[in-house]
Amino acid sequence: MSLVMRTKWADPFAWPRWLKKVLVVAADSALIPISLYIAFALRIGSIVPHQHESLSAVYFLVIFVGGVGLLWLLRLNRLKLHAFDMHAMARLGACSAGLTLLAITVSYMFSLWAPRSVPLIFGAIFFLNAVAMRMLVLGVLGHIKQATGSHTSVAIYGAGAAGTQLANALRQSRELRPVIFVDDNSALHGIIIGGVRVCHPSVLEQMAHKNEIDRVLIAIPSMTIGQRERLHKTLEALPCEVQAIPSYVDLVSGKSWVDELRPISPDELLEREKVDLDIPEVAKAYAGRSVMVTGAGGSIGSELCRQLVDCELGRIVLFERCELALYEIERTLRPLAAEKGVEIACCLGSVIDRPAVDAVIEQHGVDIILHAAAYKHVPLVEENEVEGIRNNAIGTHTVAEAARDAGIERFILISTDKAVRPTNVMGATKRLAELIVHEAQRKAQRTRFAMVRFGNVLGSSGSVVPLFHEQIRRGGPVTVTHPEVTRYFMTISEASRLVLLAGAFSEGDDMFVLDMGAPVKIVDLARRMIKLANRTVRDADNPDGDVEIEFCGLRAGEKLYEELLIDDDSLIQTPHEKILRASESPLSEIEVAAMLKQIGEVLETRDKHKIRMILQRYVAGYAAAAGNDETPKVQPGM
């Protein structure tokens, strides 16, 4: 016999199921004559009742055969040993009662001698022997498991129903072994549940340091998220693993506190009515045209593409440098475009690559360009000034020149409110992009150039909404940079529609802004998201709340508030009451040429200090935030 086979048969836990059933039937069958013999011995008062002259071997034989049949009929061999509970006890009780009736019947039917009390004693003795045998086997197997197998010692936090159920389940595991219950309820201290003692939670630290426990399982599903999070943080100091276990009811139903967090619609977070931007001019302006969207895989770019498909285009050209992003938007857009009869062209390329941009415009007969490609994450661009100005400023110059030289119909730049008196590199580079578009319009004979400036977009990549949702899902804290920081907000659909409207309303050299109502405090947005997620804020007034809001300080280049316009007096109405046209002073042709030359030289040397000098020289109101000369750190939250 091989070593593997010998090891298998030496381990009772590895025995096949059929063998275990045979052994159980054999053991229970052996208990029938043994229990009957003991019953006669107790009744007659002798340890050798077989010497009694009236005792018949036939009586034992008939009861043995009938008893084995009764065992098979009641299927005692199918009772799982590790799950020996009240149901199994009741099945054994029924079998014992059946054996008692069998003994009485055999005595009367075959006129075999047996005192009337013997069947009763026989049934009781069989029941006790069957239970004792199972308890003995369980004890032996448990000892073998502890002696031969490696296991993880577990402390169960919570001695209620969930903790008890968990302990019962762990007893069947070879990997985990419950060694102690802990509970804050002093009334439970000292009691024993399933052989495990209940103690005060203060014993955990001592046991963990003595390596008496390897893991703590929190089994109190009635806890709120805030209570669970605080308990988890308290136990994290222990030199062992800490895990929270949902109740069995939740596991069966597939329910958990994390799953209860429903997706929050950006519309629910606005403190104003949603702007109705569904007007006929949009579809008319783009119908039958070939429209190119740069940065097509980004948040704004992808939404622009989705809305453009509904405008009955002739062709939509997706221009994107990220292969995965291009694949995702193409995969999403393809069925919608096929339904509307819109042709899709997928083009990998960078906006700073002039030959690539020219080739795409010529190959696909582009009529309109929506320029959404940009680096927009403030802290990241603050640390990467060179690539920020290359992509946001030079990229815009490249695409705008290509559009002007090709004589396309319209070019729309997507800008940001951070371009107004910026304190960060991202905002300053977007302001340079606006100035470049102004200059492109001055030289253009056919192309109409326009810019669209709006605030933060709810739900876009890198915005606070997905960040806050993830933080709330984890139980907090929700990180906010400053209690007074405010922002203008709009939804992705509003932002994208505004861009399309700009193309419809554009007369050339236009700056469009959206009336977005009053700015919103970020901390109020965080509170609203926590409330919409059916959670409560944990603060001084509500220490038992679910999610805490933590202030982590303004990031490098971040302002307390943003503005939409440099000159508020320049606003002009458009056909839509919520869309406004602004007029701002551009740079002269000589200044733009000098600026582009200086940027080109700096990109060759990658001199970060000179980049900031260029931004200060050409961007009105630009003032670098304190500490920007050093490498800033990216912090979480807004």
Residue 141 CB coordination number (10 Å):
14
Name 100's Cβ contacts closer than 8 Å, sequence gap at least 6. Answer: 119, 120, 122, 123
Helix, coil or strand: residue 345: strand
* Residues pairing with 290 in the sheet: 315
Per-residue b/e over 529-562, b at no fewer than 16 CB within 10 Å? Answer: bbebbebbbbeeeeeebbbbbeeeebbbbbbeeb
Omega before residue 543 within 30° of 0, cis = no
∠ CA 216-221-227 to the nearest 5 degrees? 75
CA 252 from centre of chain? 20
Q: What is the DSSP letter of 413?
A: E
Secondary structure in 3-state letters for 101-112: HHHHHHHHHCCC
Active site positions, annotated: 418
| Residue 217 near residue 167 (C-beta atoms within 8 A) | no
| Residue 536 near residue 530 (C-beta atoms within 8 A) | yes
∠ CA 393-396-398 to the nearest 5 degrees? 110
Helix, coil or strand: residue 290: strand
Write down the residue that tokens 């740069």 correspond to: 294
Name 561's Cβ contacts closer than 8 Å, sequence gap at least 6. Answer: 485, 486, 487, 519
Give long-range contacts, CB 8 A cutoff, 24+ apart: 71-80: 71/25, 71/28, 71/29, 71/32, 71/95, 72/25, 74/98, 76/24, 76/25, 76/28, 76/130, 77/21, 77/22, 77/24, 77/25, 77/28, 78/21, 79/24
Per-residue b/e over 496-505, b at no fewer than 16 CB within 10 Å? Answer: bbbbbbbbbb
Secondary structure in 3-state letters for 169-219: HHCCCCCEEEEEEECCCHHHCCCEECCEEEECCCHHHHHHHCCCCCEEEEC
Q: Which of 496, 553, 485, 549 is nearest to 520 (CA)?
A: 485
Q: How far apart are CA 489 and CA 458, in angstroms?
A: 6
Name 48's Cβ contacts closer than 8 Å, sequence gap at least 6. Answer: 41
Question: Beta strand 290-294 with 368-371: parallel, antiparallel or unpaired?
Answer: parallel
Structure tokens at 476: 């907090």
* Residues pairing with 479 in the sheet: 550
Residue 96 CB coordination number (10 Å):
21
Q: Which of 247, 162, 227 is nearest to 535 (CA)?
A: 227
Helix, coil or strand: residue 456: strand
- Rounded to whole angstroms, what are the CA distances from 605 to 193, 355, 395, 426? 73, 23, 18, 20
